[in-house]
Amino acid sequence: MAGALLQTITRNPLASPTLLSVNSGASLAMVTASAFSPLILSGYSIALVASIGGGISWFVVMLISNGWKDNSGDRSRVILAGIAVSLLCAALTKLVLIIAEDHAFGIMSWLAGGIAHARWNELLTLFPFFILTALFCLFFASRLNLLNLSDESARSLGINLFRLRWYANIMALLIVGSSVSVAGPVAFIGLLVPHLARYWIGYDLRKSLPMAMLLGAILMLAADTIARAVNFPSEVPAGAVLALIGAPVFVLVCQRKTLMRASHVSFRAIGFYVITLSLMVLLFGLSIRLGTYTLSFEEIWAAFQPDDKNYFTLMEYRLPRAVLAILLGGAFGNFRCASAKRSA
C-alpha cells in the first residue's frame, strides 16, 4: 500500500521505501530512541517515532530532488537523492551503535529484519495503521489511478493533486513506520511482489493492490517459515531469507523486462486470487505448526481449548507471529505496486 502511494507520488518505477530512504530514516529513529531513550519520546508510540523518522528522511529526499514537481523528464533524481540520504542514515545508525555499545546486539538483531519476537502487542501496533491505509487505498484507488497521467490531465479531471498527494504521503509514512517498528527494515518484498501482481492482474490499482497484498503475505510467511526450518532449532533472520530469495529473482525479473508490462490476463484474475489465497492458507497452517517442536494439525485444533497443554504456545507465540507475517507482507507487498507510467 505504501509503495503504491510513493510510486504514484513520484511517478518513478523504481520508487520504494528502501530506495527513497524511508526505511533508513525510520530505522535511524528507532535505533536512536532504543539506544538513548530520550525523555521527550518516552510517552509516544514507537511506531509514531519510526513514522516521524521516515517522514523527515522522505522530506529531505523530496526537497533535495525537487520531487514535488512533475519530474517525468528526469525521474532518476529522486532515486539518487534517496540513495544519498539512505547512506547518510545508515552511517548515522552505525555511529549510534558505536556510541551505544551496550545495546548493539539487540539493535543489530532488529536491523536484520524478522518477526521472531512477534506477540499480540506487535500485532496491535501494526493493525490500526494497516486498516487505515487499506481503507484509504480502497476508497481512493480510482483517483490514484488518474495520477498515472500527467499533472495537467489529472487536474482537468477534477483531481486536487496537492491534497491527494499529502494524504498519500501521510498514509505511506504511517504504514512504513509501523511496519519497520515491528519487523525492522525488511526489503525485497516491496521490489519483487508488485511486478508479479501487475503482470498477472494489470495496472488497475483496484485489482493489483489486493493481489500484491496476497503475494506479499505469501512471501513473508514463506520466508519466516524457512527462517525457522533452515537452522532448527535456532532461527535465522527472515530479512536474510528474503534477501536470498528476492535478490536473484529480482535480477531475473529485470532481465525479462517484457514481463513488467501490463498483461492481458485479467479474465483469469479470479483464478489467481483463488490460487494465491489457498497458498497463503497452506503456508499459514505450516507456519503455526513449526517451532521448537512441531505440532500436528490435530494438536493445533485441540490447542484452541484453554485447558490444552499447547494453548499458550499456540495463542501467545505462533498464532500472532503468523498473523503478523500476513499483515507485514500485505503492507510491504504494495510498496511499489502502482506503476506511475506505463512504458512501452
Position 208 scores a pLDDT of 78
How many whole angstroms separate alpha carbon 42 and alpha carbon 296? 43
> Given this model, what pLDDT does residue 144 score?
80
Look at residue 22 in the predicted model and tell me its pLDDT: 81
User: Which pLDDT value is given to residue 15?
Assistant: 66
Q: What is the pLDDT of residue 177?
A: 78
Mean pLDDT, contiguous 10-residue spans, the chain (344 residues): 64 69 84 70 65 84 72 65 89 87 75 82 84 84 77 79 79 79 79 75 79 85 86 80 78 59 51 82 88 84 88 88 86 55 38
The answer to pTM > 0.85 is no
What is the pLDDT at residue 264?
44
Look at residue 70 in the predicted model and tell me its pLDDT.
53
